[in-house]
């Protein structure tokens, strides 16, 4: 029995799989490094807010201050940017806006709540339709 490359296989639903773009990460910036760092409590702590609206979320859209919305929760992923296997530009596509659809395209199986627990800002209570749409990848069309 020979197994195929899971990144290029067609999903069972018949849809065309999205090709994952990975980048070479710097030493000490892999998934296990992120898990160790976040579990050790060495990340800049966040004060969890009772809510974040679209105006506040949209202000945090730079590499120095990057918040994203995932499944109705807001995360400050600034410290995670260098650990993202798709690279900083991929994650910046969703800076200051709703990243849920982009996340589901590639990472549906990832436990984002566990991975980003140290980045939690708080629940989103705003109008998603007022957010700027996430940027489409130049490799996807």
Alpha carbon distance 36, 42 (integer Å): 9
Identify the CA nearest to 61 among candidates 114, 131, 120. Answer: 131
- Write the CATH number for 75: 3.10.120.10
User: Is residue 17 a part of any domain in this protein?
Assistant: no
pLDDT: which is higher, 23 or 34: 34
Determine the 3-state secondary structure of 140 from DSSP.
coil
pLDDT band of residue 19 (cuts 50, 70, 90) is low
pTM: 0.79
Residue 11: pLDDT above 80?
no
pLDDT band of residue 22 (cuts 50, 70, 90) is confident
Domain ranges, residue 58? 31-127
Domain total in the chain: 1
Identify the CA nearest to 55 among candidates 133, 134, 136, 125. Answer: 125
Using one digit for the tens of pLDDT, what is the confidence trace for 84-103?
988 999 999 999 999 999 99
């Amino acid at each position: 029995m020979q197994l195929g490359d899971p990144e290029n296989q067609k999903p069972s639903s018949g849809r065309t799989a999205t090709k994952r773009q990975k980048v070479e990460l710097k030493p000490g910036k892999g998934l296990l490094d992120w898990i160790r760092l976040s579990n050790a409590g060495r990340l800049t702590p966040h004060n969890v807010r009772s809510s974040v609206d679209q105006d506040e979320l949209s202000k945090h859209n730079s590499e120095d201050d990057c918040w994203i919305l995932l499944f109705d929760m807001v995360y400050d992923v600034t410290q995670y940017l260098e650990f993202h296997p798709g690279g900083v530009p991929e994650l910046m596509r969703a800076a200051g806006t709703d990243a849920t659809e982009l996340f589901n395209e590639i990472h549906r199986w990832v436990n984002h709540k566990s991975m980003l627990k140290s980045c939690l800002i708080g629940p989103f209570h705003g109008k998603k339709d007022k957010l700027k749409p996430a940027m489409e990848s130049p490799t996807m069309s």
